[in-house]
Structure 1
Amino acid sequence: MRRLPSTAFKPGQSGNPAGRPKGCRNKATQTVIALMEGAGEQIVQSVIRAAQAGDLAAAKMVIDRLAPPLRERPVNLPDFPDTNCIAGINRVSQIILESVASGELTPGEAATLSAIVEARRKALETQQLSERIGTLEKILKK
């Protein structure tokens, strides 16, 4: 077990016990909340009226709050091959590339999928190397 130096903070002990209590908001946040509580509905209504009048910045604010951009979506790749061999991993990479080229996947989605496929390739490679080393060790022990 590692010993902590005598100058280190003890677990659960604050470096500044007289500091801000947990959950306490800073003054700027408190001021904004107070303003919103007093006139929040009026502000929202004025932004909506501005958006209806054609103010694009106000319209963007309203739309961003009502329907935020999607972060991720399910991806369905047709004829997904077995990834227990290098040939299958190569085929998956080709499918991802073709899906980007045809517009079925965005480049960001393809990058995410490619990273997953690369992790699978590394795991497969590690497994194969482990088996090969085990076989060589058995041969050397004879």
Structure 2
Amino acid sequence: MATQRKPPPPRWKPGQSGNPKGRPPGIPSMAAVLRGSIDVQAIIAKLAESAAKGNTRAAELLLDRALPTLRPVAEAVELPGLKDAATLTAKAERIVELAAEGKVSPDVATALLGAIGTLAKAIEIDELMRRIEALEEDHAPPK
């Protein structure tokens, strides 16, 4: 059987620097110095001027930073026959049928199928928890 070695004691006490001759406190880093030397307002004004003259790259840069990216928003859809489907499998099959018929877009169908999969997992976990609790009750020592 191999013997376990103890870790070596720490070289420094808590609060003691491992590099006592390092940069003294209060001296800014090069990144901080560079950030302080940049005139942001002048750069933005120059970009705006350049964009107004037709520089599309400058306009793109300004708009990317100033306006949030537009994301598609799915609208509510009618899914005929989905309420009549009794099981999750039947619901999934109906969604695939609707997508195949062109009544639901593929991205909406994919999202709905993902939601059905998540719901199925949650139902499965609830069922497993119920079974475990029943087994624990049946096999619990008498009080």
**TM-score, length-scaled by structure 2:** 0.50
Hey, which of these two has a bigger chunk of helix by percent?
1
Larger radius of gyration: 2
**TM-score, length-scaled by structure 1:** 0.50
